[in-house]
Amino acid sequence: MKRGVFYFSIVLMVLYCSGPFLWQFITSLKPDYELTMIPPVISKNPTAIHYVSIFREHPFLRIILNSAIVASSTTILSLIIGSSCAFGLAKLRVKYKSFILGFILSVSMFPPIATVSPLYIIIRALGIRDTWLALVITYTTFSLPLSIWILTNFFKEIPDEIYLAARVDGCTPYQIFYKIMLPLSLPGIFTTAILVFIFSWNEFLFALTFTSTPASRTIPVAIALFPGLHEVPWGDIAAASVVVTIPLIFIVFAFQRRIVEGLTSGAIKG
Amino acid sequence: MTKRENGYGFVMPALVLLSFVTVYPIFYVFYLSLHRKLLIFDISKYVGLDNYLFLLQDDRFWNAMKNTVYFTAVSVSLELLIGLSLAILLHRSFRFKGLVRAIVLIPWAIPTVVSARMWEWMYNTDFGILNYMLGAKINWLGDTFWAIHAAILMDVWKTTPFVVILLIAGLKVIPQELYQAAKIDGAGNWAIFRRITFPLLRPVILIVLIFRTLDAFRVFDAVYVLTGGGPANTTETLSIYAYKVLFQTLQFGYGSTLSVTVFLFIGCISIFYIKILSKEMR
Amino acid sequence: MAGIRFDKIRKRFKDVTVIKELNLPIHDGEFFTFVGPSGCGKSTILNMIAGLEPVTEGKIYFDNTVVNDLTPQERDVAMVFQSYALYPHMSVYENIAFPLRMKKVQIKTIDEEVKRVAALLGLNDLLQRKPKELSGGQRQRVALGRAMIRKPKVFLMDEPLSNLDARLRIEMRAELKRLHQDLRITTVYVTHDQAEAMSLSSRIAVIYQGEVQQCGTPIEVYLKPANIFVGEFIGSPPMNFIKGTVLNIQPLKINLNGIIISPLLETSIGKTSVIIGIRPEDIPITDKKSDESIEVTVALIEPAGSFNWVDIEWNNVRIKGAAKVDADLRAGCKAFMKIPIKKIVIFDADSGKRF
């Protein structure tokens, strides 16, 4: 009996989480006239026209490219700067260590809306509005607390003796960092990369503010502002949503254990 | 022990970046909030605390505040209640656990914007599947009562999985033997939950509360795309109001004032939670 | 207070049969120990008594009541876990009081009882501390207190002493024995340490691979092990085993590694291959020859305080015996040993059972 309740709730939970997306997928395959049919059912004439349309009528490929480049660059930068900072905090002498960590954590609590106006002015003044650079710098900075937090925890788990042994062997701290620490904490780096990538892929407010032309938008902005002349092109939007979600679903399925580890490492250990 | 080498070189890049891109703008936004500044015309006039005084009697601000607080309170409570029940139900091992976990992560992983549009379609009055399944004709996004609840429901959908995962991790840390000992000591299921599970879960619940309260209070993406703040500003949260003032009316002065206010509120909430957390850690 | 009876108990986890068939009574008030190597199923037996594990087949009786379907809460047993399972967020006082709170006993009574139990166990000054502030021995006593306070029908103890250091373990052993004598509650104890089992129990059941190898008093199990496993498991250092061949059945004559012995035995041996078991403490090793002593070579001497354990080589067989400290023995040199025919145990070489 308890078994039954258990499995029933699992099924319920799975439907609850995947339901809306499944419906969106069904929607994306319906020709336009079926979208307004009542009752809304699974399509009798599934079509791929929306998928074609988003690439032909909108610069969707370019938009995906924008997101990909921004997210990848952010991830790489965030890892480099974040891991370096985490190494310093975990293994080296730094005055006011807890103050610095506290400061970094508190940055993650800043509401984006508070920084968006001054950043907009600065970016406009620097002339880098509508560029990848503006987003990459912003995203890297805001993802640093996450990177530093996760990586500091990972570095802390590596025994101090390894650092000391390497020093005795004549390594400089820098060599220890990239020859020993980084390889030993690859799982943590990988997890951080995934979380940072997802964060920048999904970010909306800054992308909305810093881009002006349709061709420089990232995916979230494009989907939010999907143009339609008179009616909202639900089919196209659905298709775009599906296209955008598929890689994320792949990442999640492939790396769900790492993602959960990363998300919970802060909550449980911290 | 041995004198450790300096870590400043390693830490500097991060600190520099953080200072320039977050700290400096915070000071700058404070500065802006004391001005009347219209971006396009490059007009900028120092007005001291006038903006703040205006804010205090700005009905639309208080409306946004009310919406934000309501949204936060209801969302976070629902997420915690549903999340806790699900976590307790699901924290045992079972086959396909990885698969289920992956599916459960999907709402968290997809861009908020994508889920907003997804729900927007589901909420469609005439053709949306929600109304079809309920057999109703509710104008979810256009009715002044329903709109904010539609937004809450969507937010709960998106973030409950995250809460469940965190709570399950917290539950895992509790040794099985404590449950066994409690059963032998005569405790029924409710007594076990109240006296063993919940007290031991409190630190994790607190952390979940912190994250979720801050996120809900700062909400922008989801609601902006779902309703744009309407109808009749019933879903206009503080962040949305600030955004509109900044980028639709281009009043960077007053918009900054609003931003600073949000920042200060977030600050207070954080400090409040951190105090509770450090007391808990003792 | 209750006696427990196992009636054809079997336990399976998926395809693995963990407990093959358990049929034995535990008398009211006795200290009964299940002893055996790790993984033999003894903790599972305890969990089944407690109701934490369901029984696959068979019935468990408390006195004359079948308890299979009762929840742990309803069985009125108390359990001390190997890791103590103290509630980490509650004070010592709260931990001990917990079972009474669950019974909804009055606060005044709870307070009296907790203080009484704390006094018995020497915990008065620690009542407000949390478990993480206590030492291993103190935590153990809190776990005992929490079990004792309810005056349950049965005490269950799952290797409670194995996390303590050697000296503390011996102290606590004496404490447990004293408590049992005072309280007279039926106690079912589980351990892999045979010395513990021997010193604490009224009766022992030796378990191996889910089956009871022998059930009896410590003396019975020590003097008359039912099979080779029990002989080897009980007693430290372990029993010596030497192959022997039966030359004649009536009167019994056995060729033991070159010498002929004629032990007295009630049953007659139907096989030719036997294994003789002799305990090291029963084999005297000296430097002086006497009649009936056998010449051997010393291989190793291990001082044990008031005597020495001596490993000797006898016709390519290595045996451990005991020698006085002042005996002139050196590794590699000659020595003399006597086989104590009255103390040997004869086992069937194929089945391992004692004749």
Structural domain including A204 reads 58-269
Instruction: Identify the residue among B177, B185, B189 best suited for mutation to test binding to C, counting C beta carbons within 10 A and taking the highest.
Output: B185
CA distance C51 to chain B (A): 8
Q: Which residues of A touch B84 (CB under 8 A)?
A: none
Co-location of A37 and A115 in the same domain: no
Contacts of B92 (CB under 8 A, 6+ apart): A6
Contact A126/B at CB under 8 A: no
Predicted confidence band of residue A268 (pLDDT cuts 50, 70, 90) = low
Q: Which residues of A touch B256 (CB under 8 A)?
A: 117-118
Q: Which two tokens stand for residue B251?
A: 């009043």
* CA distances from residue C140 to B196, C135, C146, C193 in whole angstroms, order as listed: 20, 9, 10, 18
Q: Which residues of A touch B204 (CB under 8 A)?
A: 267-268
Co-location of A43 and A62 in the same domain: no
Measured in Å, how far apart are chain B's first and last C-alpha atoms? 28
CB distance A138–B221 less than 8 Å? no
What is the number of structural domains in chain A? Answer: 2
Q: Would you state the pLDDT for residue C137? A: 86
Chains with 3+ CB–CB pairs under 8 A to B are A, C
Q: Under a CB-based contact definition with an 8 Å cutoff, are residues B49 and B36 in contact?
A: no
Q: Would you state the pLDDT for residue B133? A: 79
CB distance B181–C81 less than 8 Å? yes
CB distance A84–B259 less than 8 Å? no
Q: Which of C85, C87, C103 sits opposite B186 (nearest CB)?
A: C103
Distance (Å, rounded) from C-alpha A136 to C-alpha A204? 13
Report the residue of chain A nearest B208, measured CA to CA: A267
- Written as one letter, the residue type at B67 is N
Q: Would you state the pLDDT for residue A230? A: 60
Neighbours of C316 (CB within 10 A): 7
CA distance B4 to chain C (A): 32
Residue C299 three-state SS: strand
Q: Which two tokens stand for residue C86?
A: 């103290």
Q: Under a CB-based contact definition with an 8 Å cutoff, are residues A182 and A91 in contact?
A: no
Whether A247 has a pLDDT exceeding 90, the answer reads: no
CA distance B26 to chain A (A): 6
Looking at chain A from residue 11 to 30, which residues have their Cβ under 8 Å from any Cβ of chain B? 13-14, 16-18, 20-21, 23-24, 27
Average pLDDT, integer, range C203-224: 92
Q: Which two tokens stand for residue C296?
A: 């051997």
Looking at chain C from residue 257 to 316, which residues have their Cβ under 8 Å from any Cβ of chain B? none
CA distance A264 to chain B (A): 6
Q: Would you state the pLDDT for residue A40? A: 65
Q: For residue A46, how many C-alpha atoms fall within 13 Å in the half-sphere facing its CB? A: 9
Q: Which two tokens stand for residue A193?
A: 């990369």
Co-location of C317 and C348 in the same domain: no
C154 has which bridge partners?
Answer: C77, C186
CB distance C73–B181 less than 8 Å? no
Q: Is residue A52 part of a domain?
A: no
Task: Summarize pLDDT for C269-326 with one digit per residue, the tens.
Answer: 878 889 999 999 999 999 888 888 888 899 999 999 999 999 999 988 999 999 999 8
What strands lie across the sheet with C240-248, from one edge to the other?
C259-261, C253-256, C240-248, C273-278, C345-348
Q: Which two tokens stand for residue C278?
A: 């002799």
- Chains C and A, touching by 3 or more CB pairs within 8 angstroms: no
CATH code of A235's domain: 1.10.3720.10
Contacts of B84 (CB under 8 A, 6+ apart): B163, B167, B205
CB distance C89–B199 less than 8 Å? yes
> What is chain A's mean pLDDT, rounded?
83
Contact B5/A at CB under 8 A: yes
Superfamily grouping for domain B48-281: MetI-like (1.10.3720.10)
Co-location of C332 and C228 in the same domain: no
Q: Which two tokens stand for residue C119?
A: 């006094």
Q: Which two tokens stand for residue C122?
A: 């020497």
CB distance A14–B104 less than 8 Å? yes
CA distance B213 to chain A (A): 11
Task: Summarize pLDDT for A190-202 with one digit per residue, the tens.
Answer: 888 988 998 899 8
Q: Is residue A53 part of a domain?
A: no
Task: Summarize pLDDT for A11-52 with one digit per residue, the tens.
Answer: 888 888 888 888 888 888 888 777 777 666 776 777 788 888
Task: Summarize pLDDT for C189-209 with one digit per residue, the tens.
Answer: 999 999 999 999 999 999 998
Q: Which residues of B touch C103 (CB under 8 A)?
A: 186
CATH code of C327's domain: 2.40.50.140
What is the number of structural domains in chain C? Answer: 3
Q: Which residues of A touch B166 (CB under 8 A)?
A: 263-264, 267
Whether A91 has a pLDDT exceeding 60, the answer reads: yes
Q: For residue C62, how many C-alpha atoms fall within 13 Å in the half-sphere facing its CB? A: 22
In sign, the C-alpha dihedral spanning C142, C144, C147, C150 is negative
Contact A85/B at CB under 8 A: yes
Place of tokens 């319920």: A12
Contact B83/A at CB under 8 A: no
Co-location of C348 and C332 in the same domain: no
Stated pTM of the model: 0.78
Q: Which residues of B touch A24 (CB under 8 A)?
A: 118, 121
Distance (Å, rounded) from C-alpha A171 to C-alpha A176? 6
Contact B113/A at CB under 8 A: yes
Contact C14/B at CB under 8 A: no
The maximal CA–CA distance of chain A, rounded, in angstroms, is 76
Q: Is residue A87 part of a domain?
A: yes
Q: Would you state the pLDDT for residue A1? A: 60
One-character DSSP codes across C95-162: HHHHHHHHTT--HHHHHHHHHHHHHHHT-GGGTT--GGGS-HHHHHHHHHHHHHTT--SEEEEESTTT
Co-location of C334 and C345 in the same domain: no
CB distance A13–B98 less than 8 Å? no
Q: β-strands C284-286, C317-324: how paired?
A: parallel
Co-location of A233 and A100 in the same domain: yes
Structural domain including C354 reads 239-279+340-355
Describe chain A by its helix, strand, coil percentages, rounded to 5. 80, 0, 20
CA distance B180 to chain C (A): 7
Helices (H), C237-304: none
C322 has which bridge partners?
Answer: C284, C309
CB distance B187–C73 less than 8 Å? yes
Q: β-strands C273-278, C253-256: how paired?
A: unpaired
Whether C164 has a pLDDT exceeding 90, the answer reads: no
In sign, the C-alpha dihedral spanning C234, C239, C242, C245 is negative
Percent of chain B with pLDDT over 70: 98
Average pLDDT, integer, range B64-80: 93
Q: Would you state the pLDDT for residue B3? A: 65
Distance (Å, rounded) from C-alpha C235 to C-alpha C198? 9
CA distance A128 to chain B (A): 14
**φ/ψ (deg, to 5) at A255:** -120, 25
Co-location of C272 and C181 in the same domain: no
Distance (Å, rounded) from C-alpha B209 to C-alpha C2? 49
Whether B208 has a pLDDT exceeding 60, the answer reads: yes
Contact B112/A at CB under 8 A: yes
CA distance B145 to chain A (A): 23
Residue A132 three-state SS: helix
Whether B1 has a pLDDT exceeding 50, the answer reads: no
Contact C78/B at CB under 8 A: yes
Q: Report which of C219, C167, C173, C216 is spatially closest to residue C196, judged by C-alpha positions.
A: C173
Q: Under a CB-based contact definition with an 8 Å cutoff, are residues C154 and C186 in contact?
A: yes
Average pLDDT, integer, range A163-182: 83
CA distance A140 to chain B (A): 9
Q: Report which of B111, B116, B117 is spatially closest to residue A247, judged by C-alpha positions.
A: B111
CB distance B238–A113 less than 8 Å? yes
Q: Which two tokens stand for residue A10?
A: 């699992």
Whether B45 has a pLDDT exceeding 70, the answer reads: yes
Distance (Å, rounded) from C-alpha B214 to C-alpha B198? 23
Measured in Å, how far apart are chain A's first and last C-alpha atoms? 38
Q: Would you state the pLDDT for residue A270? A: 43
Whether B64 has a pLDDT exceeding 80, the answer reads: yes
User: Rg of chain B's alpha carbons, rounded to an integer?
Assistant: 23
How far does Cα B160 stand from its chain's mean position? Answer: 11
Instruction: Identify the residue among B30, B118, B172 best suited for mutation to test binding to A, counting A beta carbons within 10 A and taking the highest.
Output: B118
Q: Report which of C46, C48, A2, C79 is spatially closest to residue B189, judged by C-alpha positions.
A: A2
Percent of chain C with pLDDT over 90: 40
Q: Which residues of C touch B180 (CB under 8 A)?
A: 50, 52, 72, 79, 81, 85
| Residue environment code for C158-193, b if the CB has 16+ CB neighbours within 10 A, otherwise e | bbbbeebeeeebeebbebbeebbeeeebbbbbbbbb
Co-location of A234 and A257 in the same domain: yes
Q: Would you state the pLDDT for residue A79? A: 93
Q: Which two tokens stand for residue B25?
A: 């703008």
Q: Which of A215-229, C126-140, C156-170 has the lowest mean pLDDT?
A: A215-229
Contact B25/A at CB under 8 A: yes
Co-location of A147 and A236 in the same domain: yes
Predicted confidence band of residue A228 (pLDDT cuts 50, 70, 90) = low
Q: Under a CB-based contact definition with an 8 Å cutoff, are residues B5 and A93 in contact?
A: yes
Co-location of C206 and C220 in the same domain: yes
> What is chain C's mean pLDDT, rounded?
89
CB pairs under 8 A between A and B: 278
CA distance A189 to chain B (A): 16
Q: Under a CB-based contact definition with an 8 Å cutoff, are residues C319 and C312 in contact?
A: yes
Predicted confidence band of residue B2 (pLDDT cuts 50, 70, 90) = low
